[in-house]
Chain A
Amino acid sequence: MIAVENLTKKFEQFTAVDDLSFSVQEGEVLGFLGPNGAGKSTTMKVITGFLAPTAGTVTIDGHDISKEPIAAKSLIGYLPEGAPSYGDMTTLEFLNFIASVRGFSGAELKERVERVINEVDLGSVCHQTIDTLSKGFKRRVGLAQAIMHDPKVLILDEPTDGLDPNQKHHVRKLIKNLARDKIVIISTHILEEVTAVCTRAIIISQGRIVADGTPAELESRSRYHHAVSVRLNSAYDIAADLNGVQGIGPIEKSDTDPLAFTILAQQGETIYAKISEIAQSKQWPVSEFHVQRGQLEDVFRTITQRTEEAA
């Protein structure tokens, strides 16, 4: 278990992380969201023991990162932002180095290195120097070093940043596979990633937690939660038909398609059935009709902008 208690990190006058408290249990994949400069990376740097907290504590499985750094760091695998690695080494040399620092030697070291090479598919670039690798491969080398010792806690700072869609998919699958008995914390800008891999999401803004819940819970806070999207074949005034119907909120027109509309639901209302009925009885020229779960992006924007305006 990771317990973060009243964590504060200040850089001179600037408060990057402001009295943050949360805990993460085994099996959870925690997505760390927030606008740039919200304190995501700083929080990760403190959790991994790179930066010392100004106040508060971080404990990894009972080991305080400030008091027992070596014990705590042994439990963590960390992919820092930008996946830094020693560019003058080959992939294999670098992974051998990491494995020996992690305390492996001899046959076990070889076995460990081979395992991570297979796991993140680095076989083809084993003997290339890291400097010559593409961004995607570099990121995978970073992941490989993070999972070398099969760590209990995996902390990944923007693990899929700069990868192509196939690589993203691959990395997400990898994280899901790894996550079963581990604690995984990933930070990301990409909100679809949260829905794809996370079991829980924390949104932070200006160093504070502004939302904490499962991706579904967060989505349900969206004004698009239970909204109905309709696309028509020909022009038709659907607003007239919906006028006065209980539970229906504003109707938004699409910016790109004059025949597409999104009908918002009022807070806590389910409007799908009603609209479906009206559409049938009035014979709307419908070509597409679906219910939205809510847009995480919308929640993200609403929440983070609100806190930014408040400050």
Chain B
Amino acid sequence: MGNLGIIFKRELFAYFSTPLAYIFVVIFLITNGIFTFDMGGFYMRAQADLLPFFSFHPWLYLFMVPAIAMTLWADERKTGTIELLLTLPVRLADAVLGKFLAAWVLTGIALALTFPIWITVNYLGDPDNGVIFAAYIGSWLMSGGFLAIGSCMSACTRNSVIAFILTVAICFLFVIIGSPILLNAFPDWVPQGVVDAFSALGFLTHFDSISKGVLDIRDLLFFTVFIAAWLLASAIVIEMKKAN
């Protein structure tokens, strides 16, 4: 097993050796339930799909994902273990990726544990499971985007609360960036191309099409590149700031 795998395993294990992972999963499931059934009007709509379930995910992730991501690097700096980790024969890329993947798998586990909702909708009606599957993938990818931002913010500070607030703020920006409210705010003289490019950076633009079952390669690519870019930024920030 390479060092990437070893670090991944340690990090994932660390989540589950404290109450953090369990609390995260439980709160995630409860909130999902409330959003879907109460606020989303899952039954009232009387439609065999999970649109109300998935459409809340960006807002749910906005607060839950930064909570996992905030400690990724801030705690390493605070306790000094960063010095231990980075003087082991480990490449920085392995450390950054290993930690990110562990957190991403945790959100994946939480997401997978929402399967009773999927069973429910299949029991009640005859949904297009392909669409649901695509939406799950899209949702997980989006959580990865949030996490990658969180990884970078966590690298910026040794205070995990600051990391949390910064992450929420930046994630919020990327959630609303493609929303009509913001796009309409552009004055008329701004060329349409600029507005489009701007909206193409938004999470919702890409997540919406995936959650409708359209697994467009461009949307997948968007999230992949987005995650890679923020992880690269994390590595650069760690390299720059590890001295203080």
Contacts and interface: CB of A to CB of B under 8 A. Distances in A.
A50 B6 contact: no
Interface stretch (B75-83, B155-163, B187-195, B224-232): B75-83
A101 B83 CA distance: 15
A49 interface: yes
B87 to A, nearest CB: 4
A81 B84 CA distance: 10
Contacts of B217: none
B89 A84 contact: no
A76 B87 CA distance: 8
B90 A101 contact: yes
Interface residues of B, number: 23
B17 A98 contact: no
Contacts of B119: none
A159 interface: no
Given A49-B87, A89-B17, 9 more contacts: A11-B243, A70-B89, A73-B88, A80-B84, A86-B14, A88-B14, A88-B18, A101-B90, A103-B89
A86 B89 contact: no
A100 B89 CA distance: 11
Contacts of A105: 1
A48 interface: yes
Interface in A79-115: 80-82, 84-89, 93, 97-98, 100-103, 105
B88 A101 contact: yes
A78 interface: yes
Interface of A: 11, 45, 48-51, 69-71, 73-74, 76, 78, 80-82, 84-89, 93, 97-98, 100-103, 105, 145
Central interface residue in A49, A50, A70, A102, by most chain B CB within 10 Å: A50
A84 B6 contact: no
19 contacts: A11-B244, A49-B87, A50-B83, A50-B242, A51-B243, A71-B89, A73-B87, A73-B89, A78-B84, A78-B87, A84-B83, A87-B79, A88-B17, A88-B18, A89-B10, A89-B14, A89-B17, A101-B88, A102-B88
A154 to B, nearest CB: 12
Nearest to A84: B80
Contacts of B18: 88
A145 B154 CA distance: 26
Contacts of A51: 242-243
A50 B241 CA distance: 11
Contact of A102 (B1, B80, B81, B89): B89
Given A101-B3, A101-B90, A85 B242 contact: no
Contacts of A98: 88
Contacts of A78: 84, 87
B113 to A, nearest CB: 23
A8 to B, nearest CB: 14
A101 B6 contact: yes
B86 interface: yes
Interface in B1-24: 1, 3, 6-7, 10, 13-14, 17-18
B239 to A, nearest CB: 8
A73 B6 CA distance: 17
A103 B3 CA distance: 8
Given A70-B91, A84-B79, A101-B6, A50 B86 contact: yes
B81 A86 contact: yes
A11 B83 CA distance: 17
A102 B84 CA distance: 12
Central interface residue in B80, B86, B89, B90, by most chain A CB within 10 Å: B89
Nearest to B20: A88
Nearest to B81: A84
Contacts of B13: 89, 93
A101 B13 CA distance: 15
B77 to A, nearest CB: 10
